[in-house]
Chains A and B, each alone.
Chain A
Amino acid sequence: MTELLGFPIQVILGQLLLGLVNGCFYAMLSLGLAVIFGLLGVVNFAHGAFYMLGAYGTWALLNYLGIGYWGALALSPLGVGILGIVLERTMLKRLTQVDPLYGLLLTFGLSLIAEGFIREAFGASGQTYPVPELLQGAVNVGFMILPIYRVWVIVASLMVCLITWFVLERTRLGSTLRAATENPKLVQAFGINVPRMVSLTYAAGVALAAFAGVLSAPIIQVSPLMGSSLVIVVFAVVVIGGMGSIMGAILSGLMLGVIEGFTKVLYPEASNIVVFLIMAIVLCWRPNGLFGKG
């Protein structure tokens, strides 16, 4: 059996694959965050809460309305997106002219409120959500048994990330959006409804978080705390990729998922902090992040 770094090649490949799955989650979450910060200048600390609400929405759709996973994939992000629009219109809009720190404080407070409500309503232990029938079972890929659902996660998240990147960087809508955030007054003079674009962008960003939530509902317990442990890591990922760089967020998310996966094998106790160590190193070397525009 071939070995690498003292571990059998099977183990390395297995961890690589698992790291990739986690990396896809990080990529999707940091994409939403990067979109919101890059285009709106809002440090959206509520991102973890929207992820959690997306998962709870999925669970609620099944348990109260009988709508299964496939319906939830579309409906839950939609619902969370609408909530995002409401939030943006009523609260975030007022903070665009001031220091981004206020947006951070507001969204952080909102996430605490959301967590508190959910915990009061459903308890802290969490709810179980079943893996959809079509995706149940696992496939033996030689070096490990891989659940089919995890393959789906990789496929779905990469697809969503690429579509988002394409829309933002290669379509007219995307370029209008980017122009609107760089120079709102000028773009508004062309007759484009800039406030509406801003709201929709925020909604799209949080809908991405909710979509990640739907994907994770069958894998982990749907609990009020699921977002808070993740959001700090996602922030670190976005900082590493460069705040505002879409492709940077996706690539660093994937890369860091894999690195974290290796740490779990080499020195598991540090797997919680390795992302922050990397962030510290990257910031010393490239203060704008790996792909940041400055």
Chain B
Amino acid sequence: MKLSSKKTILALAVSVGLGAAFTANAGNEVVIGDIDDMSGLYADVIGQGGIEAVKMAISDFGPTVLGKKIVFLSADHQNKPDVGSAKFREWADKNELNMLLGGSNTGVSLAMAKVAGEKKVPFIAVGAAGSSLTNQDCNAYIVHYSYDTTSLANGTASVITKEGGKSWYFLTADYAFGTQLQDAATKVVNANGGKSVGSVRVPLSASDFSSFLLQAQGSKAQVLGLANAGNDFTNSLKAANEFGITKTMKPAALLAFISDIHSLGLQTAQGLYLTTGWYWDLNADTRAFGKRYFEKMRKEPTMNQAAYYSATMTYLNAVKAAKTTDSDKVMEELHKIKINDMFVKGGYIRADGVMIHDMYVMQVKTPQESQYPWDYYKVVKRMPGEEAFGPLSDSTCPLVKKK
């Protein structure tokens, strides 16, 4: 290779230098961070919209808390655990980060959760689904705010199994999220008299699902359990329709956001069951937030974007009540606080870190049923928090056992 190595190194150094953060916290600031998938397959679930939601929360709360200015940092983890955890460490060490909001991707969030325990920085995981964050992977600084694989399974899987879908075949994203979701759903299916007849693990961001779907069809199961999300979910559902699989198997969207339904269109998505923690059209409060968000982003918010707003407000309220940003005192306050806002009513953070709140099983409307833009869901079932997230006694979190 004739390329001059000196020039390469210089060029790389300059670009890294330009990209590096150059701010240092002055100690009289409260620093909130957001590490999320900003450019990959999950970028529409939280992404830029999540950043807007946090900014809205900071502006609603007031630019300061306890006399300190609220600073907001955001970064792209590119769905790589090493990138996410490295950024978290950097912010904790150099920018005196006070709280981190965790974006999409369970794998990255698990890596960041470890850093949270190490650096003793409160970590509010919103985007990650993996329930292990509040079970075997829990620590004293994690709050799992919006939803998790347990509640998703307790919602969608139980409704479909009770309606007659007894045999399940899973199409699973081959990483922590997919496998935890499949496990949770299988447990619920078994508990309701059904069984899993097989599964296939698909690499993340596969471009073609036809081959895996053919295997699903060959299993002769009644239900096609889609244990994936984002573009993986929309592509696999589209292919399932194309191959006529949805005629013989019922598709179960174990994790779907309103952004996915919007991009699929009601023609393809109609009739799907999915579980969500929040929907913009539930009541006057949710609609009001939806309207404000729509004015900025020209789309309705997903449950996680709304959760970003709520989590930021809850954290700032906890800091105010604790009269300090000290992590342990704030965590103690977070476990005492009652959350009543447009995201939840009567929500609270349990000993294992789960934010207990109602979850909703929705069915996607048909194109005829939908009356106005983004009118996509009808409520099938409202699950009270303890039912959705399971009893505390089921938790394998060491913190719980010690008490």
Contacts and interface: CB of A to CB of B under 8 A. Distances in A.
A219 B3 contact: no
A149 interface: yes
Given A225-B40, A225-B205, A268-B201, A127 B263 contact: yes
A144 interface: yes
A128 B207 contact: no
Interface stretch (A15-23, A165-173, A201-209, A283-291): A15-23
B3 A101 contact: yes
A125 interface: yes
21 contacts: A11-B215, A15-B214, A21-B210, A99-B3, A101-B3, A115-B39, A116-B39, A123-B44, A124-B39, A124-B40, A124-B47, A125-B44, A125-B230, A131-B242, A138-B243, A220-B239, A221-B235, A264-B211, A268-B212, A271-B206, A271-B211
A116 B40 CA distance: 11
Interface in A172-198: none
Interface in B202-227: 202-203, 205-208, 210-212, 214-215, 217-218
A125 B207 contact: no
Interface in B223-267: 230-231, 234-235, 238-239, 242-244, 259-260, 262-265
Contacts of A18: 208, 210-211, 214
Given A119-B39, A125-B262, A230-B207, A225 B231 contact: yes
A273 to B, nearest CB: 8
B215 A223 contact: no
A268 B1 CA distance: 37
A99 B265 CA distance: 47
B208 A22 contact: yes
A192 to B, nearest CB: 30
A127 B235 CA distance: 11
A15 B235 CA distance: 18
Give the interface residue-count category, chain B: 35 or more
A123 B221 CA distance: 35
A265 interface: yes
Contacts of B231: 124-126, 221, 223, 225
Contacts of A225: 40-41, 205, 231
Contact of B214 (A14, A124, A223, A271): A14
Interface string A42-86: 000000000000000000000000000000000000000000000
Contacts of B214: 11, 14-15, 18, 144
A15 B217 CA distance: 12
Contacts of B43: 119, 123-124
A16 to B, nearest CB: 10
A89 B262 CA distance: 40
A281 B239 CA distance: 33
A2 interface: no
A90 interface: no
B203 A128 contact: no
B259 to A, nearest CB: 5
Contact of A221 (B40, B42, B238, B299): B238
A269 B44 CA distance: 26
Given A18-B211, A145-B243, A268-B212, A125 B201 contact: no
A231 B47 CA distance: 25
A261 interface: yes
A225 B1 CA distance: 31
A101 B1 contact: yes
B7 to A, nearest CB: 11
A50 to B, nearest CB: 16
B268 interface: yes
A275 to B, nearest CB: 12
B206 A272 contact: yes
Contact of B205 (A21, A116, A229): A229
A15 B209 CA distance: 11
Interface in B118-170: none
Q: Which of B200, B238, B242: most chain A Cβ within 10 A?
A: B242
Contacts of B264: 128, 221
Contacts of B200: 268
B403 interface: no
